[in-house]
Amino acid sequence: MLAAIFWHSAQFPPDVEPFRAFIYGPLGGTITCCYILLAFIAYYPFKEKQRWSRNAIIVAFSVWVIIDSALCLVFGVYPQIYIINAFSIIVKALPIIFTWKDFRLTVKSEKII
């Protein structure tokens, strides 16, 4: 998809292939890190209905969606927005929507800073 958008070709040009191969490493590591962190937040504080965990998930993924979608608009990578980003928003929003009322209760283990 990206080769078609940027180079109007089915494959990346040979001169950018080393960069493509490299950039997938740091991007993959960053994505992996974010989802491991999300898993720990979801399993421990979110499960305990600590409001900060819900708010952290909302803020973090909102910032990602805004930045990612804006860059996709600028560069014309529209499938990223309406396939990947839209799906990610739905997957992350549903648990938050369905548990929203549960976070209104005060949790003794939660500290207000």
Q: Give me the pLDDT at residue 110, please.
A: 57
Three-class secondary structure of residue 91 per DSSP: helix
**Over the stretch 7-39, which tens digit does the pLDDT of each residue have?**
999 999 999 989 988 999 999 999 999 999 999
- pLDDT by residue (tens digit) across 78-109? 999 999 999 999 999 999 999 999 987 655 65
Is the model's pTM score more than 0.85?
Answer: no
Where residue 69 falls (left for φ over 0; alpha for ψ -120 to 50; beta otherwise) is alpha
The per-residue pLDDT for range 40-92, each reduced to its tens digit, is 999 999 999 999 999 999 999 999 999 999 999 999 999 999 999 999 999 99
Q: Is 57:80 a contact under the CB 8 Å cutoff?
A: no
